[in-house]
Amino acid sequence: MMTSKERVLTVFAQQVPDRVPVDYAANSGIDQRLKQHFGLQPDDYVGLCAALGVDFMAVNAPYCGPKRHADDPARGVVANEWGIRQRWIEHESGGYWDFCDFPLQEASEEDVAAWPLPSPDDYDYSHIGELCRQYRDKALYVGNPGVADVINANGMLRGMEQTLIDLISDEPAGLLLARRRVEIQLQVLERMLEAAQGQMAFLWMGEDLGTQIAPIVGLDLYRRNIRPLHERVVALAKAYNLPVMIHSCGSSSWAFEDFIEMGIAAVDTLQPEAAHMAPAYLKKTFGGRLAFHGCISTAGPVATGTVAEVVADCRRTLDIMMPGGGYCFAPTHCLQDNSPTENVVAMYETARRHGTY
């Protein structure tokens, strides 16, 4: 039997593991219901991952610096260290943090240059070495889908419309914001990798490049204003001999050849209902050259079907993606609060029962 780290690295290397690696991400409502189902404490994330058979574990450096951007308690608005502002929105099955205000929407290049951003010194790296030793058999990773995600992150500060205008028109303010943010992220990641002392399995980065029906931006624009930043993250990972996984929601397979050319090992999300993202198409077109992480739709049977339909959907995906290796079983994004608990449990039981080679 392989360790989780060996299992994931085997898949990223396009080889066959002992079983399909498994990952987990969920919104708070379904996360708490799953912990209750397994008799766990509300904060027992490690216990839940053990119950679900999860192989992956994030290693983070929490922000511990000064409060650079003010909250607005009267409106329920909170601001993080980047100045991104959110407010909690309730809905019938839970809630979510909604982005609001977009403080740099009309900012000039000078305004962006003066916008307070965190320093790499503002993060706490002190626990990383011990965490890596404690969980050395897990597939530990640094980064997340928010690393180098120009469209998403700029959109949180400048609004989506202005962000797309920035990219199309080569607007200096928007491009400077993206460069400043990625530069800080690179320094934080390198500090984390140094603290990990060779224990990380891979680096995770991201960018949402597609809608459900088409690309968000063209390939020429991606290569001009986004890929150079992605290449810097890949270069950092290569300097530490780490493979890279990239997250991209929606119809994004149009960019996969560029991912391969850059040396990216795996791609995450893989929404099967989006155009040109069906598991069979991905496996046929990119199998053996990219590893896949995702494919279990959070808008499909897990959210809307019966237990039997969940099992059938997961088995069908495993049958397509498992042959020859190269597949990690995971939801396409965070499992949503409208997903019945029994459906999510069935999803992970199916991976355990039918994901063995």
Reference 55, options 16, 12, 6; nearest CA is 6
- pLDDT number for residue 137: 98
Distances (CA, A) of 88 to 72, 75, 99, 113, 318: 12, 10, 9, 29, 36
- pLDDT number for residue 240: 98
Neighbours of 64 (CB within 10 A): 12
- pLDDT number for residue 8: 98
Q: Which amino acid is at 46?
A: V
Backbone φ and ψ for 123, nearest 5 degrees, come out as -115, 150
Distance of alpha carbon 48 from alpha carbon 26, whole angstroms: 11
User: Could you tell me the residue ranges of all domains in the chain?
Assistant: 4-65+108-354
Burial class (CB in 10 A: 0-12, 13-18, 19+), 94: middle
State in words which class domain 4-65+108-354 has: alpha beta
| Dihedral (CA of 30, 32, 33, 35) sign | positive
Neighbours of 227 (CB within 10 A): 19
| pLDDT per residue of the chain (357 residues) written in tens, 0 to 9 | 999 999 999 999 999 999 999 999 999 999 999 999 999 999 999 999 999 999 999 999 999 999 999 999 999 999 999 999 999 999 888 899 999 999 999 999 999 999 999 999 999 999 999 999 999 999 999 999 999 999 999 999 999 999 999 999 999 999 999 999 999 999 999 999 999 999 999 999 999 999 999 999 999 999 999 999 999 999 999 999 999 999 999 999 999 999 999 999 999 999 999 999 999 999 999 999 999 999 999 999 999 999 999 999 999 999 999 999 999 999 999 999 999 999 999 999 999 999 999
Distance of alpha carbon 173 from alpha carbon 104, whole angstroms: 9
- pLDDT number for residue 120: 98
What angle do the packed helices 28-37 and 341-354 form, to 10 degrees?
A: 70
- pLDDT number for residue 36: 98
pLDDT tens digits, one per residue of 238-264: 999 999 999 999 999 999 999 999 999
Q: Which amino acid is at 10?
A: T
Reference 82, options 173, 171, 157, 162; nearest CA is 157
Output the pTM of the full model. 0.97
Using an 8 Å Cβ cutoff, are 139 and 7 in contact? yes
Q: What is the percentage of the chain residues whose pLDDT exceeds 90? A: 99
- pLDDT number for residue 7: 98
- pLDDT number for residue 225: 98
CA dihedral 192, 329, 350, 348 (to 10 degrees): 30
Burial class (CB in 10 A: 0-12, 13-18, 19+), 135: middle
- pLDDT number for residue 46: 97
| Dihedral (CA of 31, 37, 43, 45) sign | negative
Residue in the block written with tokens 């290796």: 325
| Dihedral (CA of 351, 352, 353, 354) sign | positive
DSSP for 102-128 reads -TTTT--HHHHHHS----GGGB--TTH
